[in-house]
A and B are shown apart, each in its own frame.
Chain A
Amino acid sequence: MPNIVVLVKRVPDTNAKITVSGGSLDLSAVKFVISPFDEYAIEAALRHKEANGGTVTALTLGSDACDKVLKDAKALGVDNLVRLWNQGWENLDSNGVQSALASAIGDLGSDVVYCGKSAADSNAGSTGPGVAERLGWTSVSNASAVSFEEAGVEAMIPTSSGQARVGLNFPCVVSMDKGEMEPRRPNVRGIMMAKRAVVEVISAEAPTPTVNVVRYSPPAEKPPGKTYEGAGNVPTVVQALRNEAGVI
């Protein structure tokens, strides 16, 4: 029966207002959630287990503040919670994150890894393929649906001319897009299980970061819009759309 791992990432609530002070991010008043595409990965992992048995392990990389997103995954029905962390990992770059995750996934003896196609904070989309590359595993990205075989999965992925159904043998990494698999809601029974669940903390080696953040700055303020009222302004609006906005 498959050993299924799902990667979950703690990100700021996608509605949160992010402020920058002194060149660094101020996240002190921000609510954190599971990255939205990871919800689809959890759903795929749980359906995989429901179809073929096995166990689902939710894995995250981060400090103990990340235990909450693991507990949220537990409330949805995953079996095991594992957090990967080492002192000095506060500024790990993508290379370091992928190496550390690949090492942990190897140690967990996984057959298949599900993750979101990108995280809501960085939007980089590099974790799934990056982990697969380091492990030398088969990988597909942006899957909108998956079905489960004895020794692999079939995934629906976008192509330049539509969609393709591709087969992957274990071991493999599938990064999930929003698609046909509507993520489930938690229930009280799951929340009670989450309360009692224990997060296993493991560590790994990671290469020294080669990419360093120089400074953060907020995006430029959007210029205020213009308001026109009355039918008499139609020519003005048309001119503005053509000459200023360049959209018609």
Chain B
Amino acid sequence: MTDMSYTEKPETEELYREMERLGQELKVPVPSSFLKVEVFKDGHNIYAHKQRSHSWNRNAYNWFFSQFGSASALGTTFEAGALTIKETSGTIRNDNSRGIGIGTRRTTARCIEDVNDTTDNFGYRVTAGTDDFSILVGISNTPEDFNHYSLQSQATHGSGSGQLDHAQTEPPVKSWDGTTRMFAVDWVRFFNNNSAGDIDINEVALVGGIYAPFYTSYDYGRMVMVCRDVLASPVTLPDTGQLKVTYTIGLVFP
């Protein structure tokens, strides 16, 4: 069993904590986001680390501002001063009569936390084999960029060379810590390496099926990457090994 090491630099960790304290004191919501990466081989945990997720991107900022500000899309580009969404496909959504986010559900029989496939596209939870949203991984070490909208070199679903079998996203686990006053949500996904070779993981992303405004039908969301974390060093997933990625998104309440 490998102990989970916390790799966040102490000086930046102190800044994150200062920000959370200020948010709590001033009653300004400050989202906390953590990323855990674990590797298993033959049932044994051979690697584990935890860090802050550092990379809410322009999509995420536009999403949050649109929600809280009740602001509709603005502009046609994806850059400073534009309030738009760029899907993982590169398509920019900018219908100026709508907001960004999710306010409803697909059908009366489905919940945002239910497993979704590519005809539903809501939330972070997807079926096995779905590799266009939820937690995704890749092999590129290109630095994080606020304007990135997709992984730079995704490890797609499959058992061919360089591919990973994408398991279904686990149901979210919600928890309340009365001591730290943090409400946290864990999103977990497993990836199995049946490619017959090692795969080096360098990047991890969270892609939401988000109702980006901009669409004439509200029946399904668009695939929007909201953060992409480049790992400090490659995490090697051996053949027949299993990768577990956890995003923990939390909020410290006043």
Q: Are the chains A and B members of one assembly?
A: no
Question: Hey, which bits of chain A sit against chain B, CB under 8 A?
Answer: none
